[in-house]
Amino acid sequence: MPSDDTNRGERDTDVILSSYPREPRFLLPILQDIQKAFRYLPISAMKKTAAYLNIPESRVYSMGTFYKAFSLTPRGEKTIRICGGTACHLRGGAFILREVEKRLNISVGETTPDRRFTLETVNCLGACALAPVIMVNEKVYGQMTPALVAAMLEEEEMDHEIPSTC
C-alpha cells in the first residue's frame, strides 16, 4: 500500500500536470514545476509526465538529465554553493569547503539525511570582492573563514522550513 507521502506526491504531480495542455512543448515547464515542488524529479513523476504528454519516458529522462538545474535525487531545502573561482580559491575557499563538509558530514553533491542542505561547488558566484563566498539559496555570505562557517550554518538552521517529501 502506498504511503501518505507517496499519495501526496502523486496528487501534487497530478495538479501540476493538469495545469498544462497535453502537448510535448510543455515538457520543460512541467519539469521545472515538478523540480520546484519536490526539489528533485521523482521517477514516478517523470513517468506520469511521459504518459500525460504521450511521449517516450526516455525523452523526459533526457531532458531531466540534460539541465543542471534538475536533480534526479532528493535535494535539500537549502542549497549551499561554495565558490571555487580564482579570488575565492586564493583566499581560502578550499578550507571553507572542507569546514562545511565536516560540519554537515556530507561531500560535494550530497544532501544531508534530513534534506535540509545540499552542498555544491560553483565556478564563480560573481562576488569576487567578498571572497571567499558562500551562497545559501539566494543569500550571500562574504569574507568567510572556517571559523564563521558554524555561525552561518546555525543561522541557516534557525531559518528552517519544513521539507516536503514525495
Same domain, 61 and 122: no
d(CA 37, CA 55): 22
130-156 average pLDDT score: 96
Q: Is residue 71 part of a domain?
A: no
92-106 average pLDDT score: 97
Give the domain CATH number at 116.
3.40.30.10
Domain final residue pick, 24, 43, 66: 66
Name the average pLDDT for the chain: 91
pLDDT at 3: 37
Domain count, the chain: 2
Percentage of the chain surpassing pLDDT 90?
86
Task: Give the domain extent around 33.
Answer: 4-66
Same domain, 96 and 44: no
Q: Can you give the pTM of this predicted structure?
A: 0.74
Same domain, 153 and 92: yes
Same domain, 19 and 88: no
Domain final residue pick, 66, 87, 116: 66
Read off the C-alpha cell for 93.
575557499
Domain final residue pick, 66, 91, 116: 66
**pLDDT tens for each residue of 108-117:** 999 999 999 9
DSSP track, 67-118? STT--SS---SEEEEEE-SHHHHHTTHHHHHHHHHHHHT--TT-B-TTSSEE
